[in-house]
Chains A and B, each alone.
Chain A
Amino acid sequence: MLMRESAEDDVLLDVRDLETHFYGEESVTRALGGVSFQVKKGETLGVVGESGCGKSVTALSILRLLPKLTARTVGGEVRFHGRDLLDLSDREMRKIRGHRIAMIFQEPMTSLNPVYTVGRQIAEAVQIHTNATHSTAMAKAEEMLRLVRIADPERRVNNYPYEMSGGMRQRAMIAMALACSPELLIADEPTTALDVTIQAQILRLIVDLKERTGTAVMFITHDLGVVAETCQRVIVMYAGRIVEQAAVTDLFARPAHPYTQGLMRSVPDPRRGRQRRLPEIPGIVPSLREPIVGCSFAPRCPFAIDICREKTPMLRDVGSSHAAACWRAEEVMGA
């Protein structure tokens, strides 16, 4: 008889109150001010927000890849299969990276090492985490290039990155990331630097591979369209915090945070033809160098009232598995 897994067993990654600070000459930037979310096995979670909202910092904090001299995760937990990654030794952490949790980056042009062949760089990931010989690892690299649909993989495996286009390099990055069958793939704006036609292909590829391998994906993007196409659940970040969390359909149907609403309005809608002017969110993202009193979005928010400027709203349920950090979420949803 089939047993239904409990909710706890379903959770692959459980991030709790993650706080990361950057240390400058004289100031401290609170890049993450307590971020909590979960990634369930096999799901695709979208992480949305504008530049500087903490999406990438969240990803890099999970894998502990931030520069040691300038950044530190000062609080919180990153539970992966119940173990806090922040407590692991460097050696244990290396066994997680690329093996259990892999990551692909925004810039395919600069993310591959220019002096080694693509095949060798994929094979390296295999050799770090298994005791495969060089030739087995190279065969695996070729197989991975075929999997990411690079034509002529037996030749491409010996190519250097400069001999490949941006789209091909991003495919190679995906091949490298998936070579050890990770349980979680963190994709940090993987299509942002690519041409629109290539973007669609890469998105399709990630979705296909996710379905074939069962890997959970944390998809970081500033593009709500990408979220709609690829994700099941989504978290919206603003100024180093999560402001809304929902199933994709709920988020699009009834956004509960004014910031999410603003984001959606500023996406051009081709069905409406040429618009006179795309609505934008007025004001600028607050500086994270000084502590923020009240809601960080309040200065830009059309719904802001006195309490918003005095007390920071916590993330609270506004529907079934739909949460928002807004004092007036119900009114926002009704608007």
Chain B
Amino acid sequence: MVSYILRRLLSTIAVMTMVGIFVFLLLRLAPGDPADIIAGDRATPEMVAGIREQLGLNEPMPVQFVHWALSIVSGDFGTSIFTGYPVLQLISQRLEPTISLSILTLSLSVTVGISFGILAAWRTGGFIDRVLTAFAALGFSVPVFVIGYFLIYFLAISMHWLPVQGYEPIDHGFGPWFVHLILPTLALSFPYVAYFARIVRTSMLEVLSEDYMRTAAAKGASSYSMLFHHALKNAGVPILTVIGMSVAYLISGVVITETVFNIPGVGRLVVDAINNRDYPIIQGVLILVSGLYVLINLAVDLAYTLIDPRIRY
């Protein structure tokens, strides 16, 4: 187990190096000279040359990469071209809204999606199952921003129940923080609830027809115990896989949601950075998101061993 974790962490280094190469090339392969981009439209040739020297762009590419990679490893993600602030500082300022939105979305999707899926599997072909099928089709096919504007129109503009957009930090109070996050969380959760519910339903249906479920029934287990104790744990591996992968995909949904609801999170930071061609920020976010993705994958693989005793590393 320990050696497995060590091996996985070592392979993480290889994966992150690959990610690093792509992210590094992003700036180098973008049309135009990076120094030109950084210096801006009205720069003199002397200024550009100075920037080239300062960025080490006169060195060979591999040397540049090693310098860049070493500074990333030491925690220096460079400086934003547009604002002049350190990238890491800009990202950390934007983390709270994004993490809040992600955690709320995941909690909602996991609890509602799993419960919905279990109920649908329990009464296959029944009312809940049919509602789920319709809902899932809707959840998959309607884009997040459409759901977002729809929710804003009805719940915020027409009914005045919730704020239209914006964000309140949690240290301004839990209430305002939560109220501002309800609509974006609902909008972003929609496809995930549908997705989790479908996966849970399928895995549960497979498990419910297993012989050991009949054994459980034959010893007098209740429906609740059959579903949550005997079936859910056996259906857990595929469910966990899907949830783990969704965490990574969540980031793209977060970008759109933050734009629709005007939330100053990492997603908005990236959108602004792309508009401004602020490459260091784009690079920094990419590196962090990839690292998070790799770590979540490792955590999911380790969590398998908690669910299924037959899985050992």
A contacts, CB < 8 Å to B:
63, 65, 69, 90, 94-99, 102-103, 105, 107, 110-116, 124-125, 128-129, 160, 162, 173, 176-177
Supposing A105-B214, A110-B211 touch, asked if A115 and B221 sit within 8 A by C-beta, the answer is: no
Report the separation of the CA atoms of residues A113 and B217 in the bound assembly, to the nearest whole angstrom: 12
Q: Name the contact of A65 in the complex, choosing from B212, B217, B223, B230 (C-beta under 8 A).
A: B217
Q: Within B215-249, which residues are at the interface with A (CB < 8 Å)?
A: 215-223, 225, 230, 233-234
A99, A113, A114 pick with most chain B CB within 10 angstroms: A113
Contacts A/B (CB < 8 Å), 17 sampled: A65-B218, A94-B222, A98-B219, A102-B218, A105-B215, A107-B211, A110-B210, A112-B215, A113-B215, A113-B216, A113-B234, A114-B212, A124-B219, A124-B221, A125-B219, A129-B220, A176-B215
Supposing A114-B234, A114-B308, A115-B233 touch, asked if A97 and B212 sit within 8 A by C-beta, the answer is: no
A9 CB to closest chain B CB (Å) equals 26
Which residues of chain B are within 8 angstroms of A116 by Cβ–Cβ distance?
A: 233
- B309, A115: Cβ atoms under 8 Å? yes
Which residues of chain A are within 8 angstroms of B233 by Cβ–Cβ distance?
A: 115-116
Report the separation of the CA atoms of residues A173 and B219 in the bound assembly, to the nearest whole angstrom: 11
Asked if B16 is at the interface (CB within 8 A of a chain A CB), the reply is: no
Report the separation of the CA atoms of residues A160 and B310 in the bound assembly, to the nearest whole angstrom: 8
Supposing A69-B124, A115-B309, A160-B309 touch, asked if A99 and B212 sit within 8 A by C-beta, the answer is: no
- B308, A128: Cβ atoms under 8 Å? no
Which residues of chain A are within 8 angstroms of B222 by Cβ–Cβ distance?
A: 94, 128
Which residues of chain B are within 8 angstroms of A177 by Cβ–Cβ distance?
A: 218-219
Q: Name the contact of A110 in the complex, choosing from B212, B216, B220, B309 (C-beta under 8 A).
A: B212
Report the separation of the CA atoms of residues A30 and B187 in the bound assembly, to the nearest whole angstrom: 51
The residue in chain B whose Cβ has the minimal distance to the Cβ of A160 is B309
B122 CB to closest chain A CB (Å) equals 11
B308 CB to closest chain A CB (Å) equals 6
14 more A-B contacts (CB under 8 A) besides A111-B211, A114-B212?
A97-B218, A97-B220, A98-B219, A98-B220, A99-B220, A103-B218, A112-B215, A113-B215, A114-B310, A124-B219, A125-B220, A128-B219, A162-B309, A173-B215
Supposing A114-B308, A162-B309 touch, asked if A98 and B218 sit within 8 A by C-beta, the answer is: yes
Report the separation of the CA atoms of residues A90 and B222 in the bound assembly, to the nearest whole angstrom: 9
B contacts, CB < 8 Å to A:
124-125, 210-212, 214-223, 225, 230, 233-234, 307-310
Report the separation of the CA atoms of residues A105 and B124 in the bound assembly, to the nearest whole angstrom: 25
Which residues of chain A are within 8 angstroms of B124 by Cβ–Cβ distance?
A: 69
Q: Name the contact of B220 in the complex, choosing from A96, A111, A112 (C-beta under 8 A).
A: A96
B214, B219, B223, B307 pick with most chain A CB within 10 angstroms: B219
The residue in chain A whose Cβ has the minimal distance to the Cβ of B125 is A69
The residue in chain A whose Cβ has the minimal distance to the Cβ of B212 is A113
The residue in chain B whose Cβ has the minimal distance to the Cβ of A99 is B220
Which residues of chain A are within 8 angstroms of B307 by Cβ–Cβ distance?
A: 115
B58 CB to closest chain A CB (Å) equals 60
The residue in chain A whose Cβ has the minimal distance to the Cβ of B237 is A115
- B215, A128: Cβ atoms under 8 Å? no
Q: Name the contact of B215 in the complex, choosing from A69, A94, A99, A111 (C-beta under 8 A).
A: A111
Report the separation of the CA atoms of residues A16 and B212 in the bound assembly, to the nearest whole angstrom: 29
- B308, A97: Cβ atoms under 8 Å? no
A228 CB to closest chain B CB (Å) equals 27
Report the separation of the CA atoms of residues A177 and B214 in the bound assembly, to the nearest whole angstrom: 13
B303 CB to closest chain A CB (Å) equals 13
Q: Name the contact of B310 in the complex, choosing from A63, A95, A125, A162 (C-beta under 8 A).
A: A162
The residue in chain B whose Cβ has the minimal distance to the Cβ of A115 is B233
The residue in chain B whose Cβ has the minimal distance to the Cβ of A176 is B219
Supposing A69-B124, A115-B234, A160-B310 touch, asked if A102 and B219 sit within 8 A by C-beta, the answer is: yes
B267 CB to closest chain A CB (Å) equals 38
B9 CB to closest chain A CB (Å) equals 27
- B212, A95: Cβ atoms under 8 Å? no
Report the separation of the CA atoms of residues A52 and B144 in the bound assembly, to the nearest whole angstrom: 53
The residue in chain A whose Cβ has the minimal distance to the Cβ of B231 is A113
